[in-house]
Structure 1
């Protein structure tokens, strides 16, 4: 592999179904003087990866390497980089790899909302290069979007925090989650289980909502104070009228989620925040008559500073995502995506053994 001109990765290609990936080589993006090159050692498998390769959101290029919960070691630091990273540091990269860094939104710590947003994969840089993700040997990223990984966080457990964890942390912290705040978490999957962990670490009282009762034991073990099986208790909302301050919608699909019922659970001034991005055919629907003194909104990822804060919180409080590891490679990636499609994971996958697949780590 002629690094730094080419990287290797496990890609979904147009000539095969999404669950049959291939080992490929591809050109690295042009090096910017503030870029940092990272040799990858772990990468989380996010629901966004599945939605992307299955074509739920947008068209795929001829070959695409997904993955945006990247942990690895710095192997090169750009000549103009000034963030203090050095070769050998263990660092992380989330789902955003570039913004303009000049607009008002960037200056205010709202980089994910910048018009110059470039995602970790399947998004064009200003020069036209289509970004490639973390199921790969290396990644090259502007230093602003690289964060240090606290020493106490194992790489395979830190990885899911980099996107999934950040996606729920940002709306919680931005909407006042803390001691005395009552938070409802809708959907106990890859995002929802981390929302419970994080809300509890922030001091909130947490009510977990799931369709059935099969996840009750898990929810309580994660730290939820109460659990509601909404499909088994049709009038469950009668018990929770005006009880919650924040409802965070983390479900992978909006089918069967009656938002009007969740509005009833909110105190006046309460907020429903959705981080659910399902198939593009699904709609966020609710009755206009239900909106009485509450706010409905959404949240997109989180800033690099919020990611640093989240990792420090995890290190300080000791919470960890529930993770199953799989070796990266054609078989491992196929298994991870296929099992995720079936809901066969409690609650996140992290790909490991990158050195064996790509001959790195030397």
Structure 2
């Protein structure tokens, strides 16, 4: 067994503490990664706080992982020692169902194995990237392109793919009008990626506080949703809306902004049920959808796309002792735009 330093939480109201966790010995197709940076995702906070169901504590969150290969199993063919690699939101799947065979492991019919708060193929709880090392089967490891630095690469493994996947699936590109609801960790990546895809991009944020940033990231327009006139002016305007916020917003008001056959996609998961008025959809044959992350193949595609277009997230690097403070700041929207833990501070 391999011992790794980590930061763990023991309950929904507990602070993070220094811990040691065990990583399995390498199996034939396993890769040992020395983690250099780990992003903080809002999903980490929901899970650590027990807001998405029962949690097997102690918990080590983190599914935005960037590091370097330090050892490989005897049958590994995709990676070698010193390769720059990443790990995202899942570390396994059945590999046999139709979805897995089609490269959609995130939708594995038997359930994918999450990077943390799950159970691996050996029956052991998975622990995430707030740690110095992780062992992952090679098919769930991503190659980080050479000119993307590891600190900014980390958030691409969740925030990047969570926004890239629906933009690609619903055809964001030239001639398409795309709105991004929210300008946080997910939202600012959606703006950058949609712009690079060639879409006309509009940010819909509560206020105009981040307008300068939004335009700098590639948005063509920026509107405040606390102004009722925004919804009148933009009625029937967008082909695609990507909702990145976790709050329970008035979703029906946003349906009114879709054109004929337009689609609103949720990627930020609110904790409460949403009330949907069917007429708001049927009146323009609009669609309401949700999206998770992408499969491994698409995640690698996203990394290569970001490298090609010089897209990286805006980050603030913190030490391991600042995780609790970072969580509080995320909840109060006091981050531009993604916290990343320097794992050397473990």
Say whether residues 1:307 and 2:311 are aligned partners. Answer: no
Q: What secondary structure sits across from 2:52 in the alignment?
A: coil
Instruction: Identify the residue that residue 111 of structure 1 maps to in structure 2.
Output: 105
1:269 aligns with 2:261: yes
Which residue number in structure 1 is paired with residue 5 of structure 2? 8
Corresponding position of 1:336: 326
C-alpha RMSD of matched pairs (Å): 1.5
Structure 2: 5+ residue runs without aligned partners? none
Deviates more, 1:198-207 or 1:308-317: 308-317
Q: CA deviation at 1:116?
A: 3.2
Q: For 1:1-32, what per-residue CA distance to the aligned partner results, in whole angstroms no more than 9, with x for missing partners?
A: xxx43222110113x833x2111112213543
Residue 105 to residue 239, structure 1, CA distance change in 2 (3 Å) = same
Match of 2:42 in 1: 47
Secondary structure of the residue aligned to 2:21 is strand
Number of matched pairs? 343
Q: Which residue of structure 2 lines up, in the alignment, with residue 287 of structure 1?
A: 277
Structure 1 CA distance, aligned partners of 2:121 and 2:301? Answer: 29
Distance (whole Å) between structure 2 residues aligned to residue 224 and residue 286 of structure 1: 28
1:190 maps to which of 176, 185, 188: 185
1:1-362 matched pairs, under 5 angstroms: 4-14=1-11, 17-18=13-14, 20-29=15-24, 31-83=26-78, 85-114=79-108, 115-231=110-226, 233-254=227-248, 257-279=249-271, 282-292=272-282, 293-327=285-319, 329=320, 331-352=321-342, 354-357=343-346
How far, CA to CA, are the matches of 1:339 and 1:261 in structure 2? 28
CA–CA distance in structure 2, aligned partners of residues 32 and 275 of structure 1: 34
SS in 2 for 1:214: coil
Deviation at 1:271, TM superposition (A): 0.8
Distance 1:262 1:319 in 2: 28
SS of 2:311's equivalent in the other structure is coil
* Kept in 1: contact 2:104–2:296 (CA 8 A): no
> Could you tell me how far apart the structure 2 residues matched to 1:341 and 1:295 are?
30
Question: TM-score when scaled to structure 2?
Answer: 0.95
Indicate conservation of the 8 Å contact 1:98/1:116, yes or no.
no
1:272-328 per-residue CA deviation (whole Å, 9 max, x = no partner) reads 11011132xx1122211111201111001111111111111111111221111012x
Q: Which moved more, 1:131-140 or 1:312-321?
A: 312-321
1:260 to partner: Cα distance: 1.8
Consecutive aligned runs of 4 or more in structure 1 exceeding 4 Å deviation: none
- Secondary structure of 1:41's partner? strand
Which whole-Å CA distance do the structure 1 matches of 2:76 and 2:331 have between them? 40
3-state DSSP of counterpart to 2:142: strand
Point out where structure 1 has 5 or more consecutive residues left out of the alignment: 358-362
Q: Determine if contact 2:5/2:20 at 8 Å carries over to the other structure.
A: yes
SS of 2:193's equivalent in the other structure is: helix
Partner SS state of residue 290, structure 1: helix
SS of the equivalent of 1:173 reads helix
* 1:209-237 Cα shifts (integer Å, max 9, x gaps): 01122122221121111111111x21422
> How far apart in 2 are the matches of 1:251 and 1:199?
17
- How far residue 199 of structure 1 moved from its aligned partner, in angstroms, is 0.4
Question: Take 2:126 and 2:221, find their aligned partners in 1: how far apart are those partners?
Answer: 42
Given that 2:26 and 2:72 are in contact with CA atoms closer than 8 Å, whether structure 1 keeps it comes out as: no
TM-score normalized by the length of structure 1? 0.91
Question: Relative to 1, partners in 2 of residues 1:278 and 1:32: Cα closer, same or farther, differing over 3 Å?
Answer: farther
Determine if contact 1:208/1:224 at 8 Å carries over to the other structure.
yes
Q: Residues 237-291 of structure 1, C-alpha deviation per residue, up to 9 Å, x if partnerless?
A: 222222211101101212xx22222222222121111011132xx1122211111
